[in-house]
Amino acid sequence: MSQVSTQKNSTQATADLVEQIEILKRDLANLKSAGATAAREKLHDAGRAAKDAYVDGKDRALGLEDDLESAIRSSPLKSVLIAAGFGLAFGLLGRR
């Protein structure tokens, strides 16, 4: 009789263990899915931030270009003399 009781307890323990393993598998699958979702969101946020930085940089560069063009148009002789001075300075430095 005690052998039958022990066998039932062993069978029940095995069934409980199998059930717990299945629960763990589901939990791990859920964690994996949640981790992948979080990673995708972080990647999306980083991409959006990079795009925003690119657009800001482009806008600033275009603004500087417009400012430089306005300065050249307002005093062309001064601009030519400054450019010639830089060319001469770089030419002298390049000889050494």
1 pLDDT more than 60? no
List pLDDT tens digits, range 33-57: 888 888 999 999 999 999 999 999 9
pTM value is 0.52
**pLDDT of the residue at 44:** 94
Structure tokens given for 3: 């052998």
For residue 71, give every residue at least 6 positions away whose Cβ sits within 8 Å of its Cβ, in sequence order, or none: 79
Dihedral Cα 84, 85, 91, 94, nearest 10 deg: -140
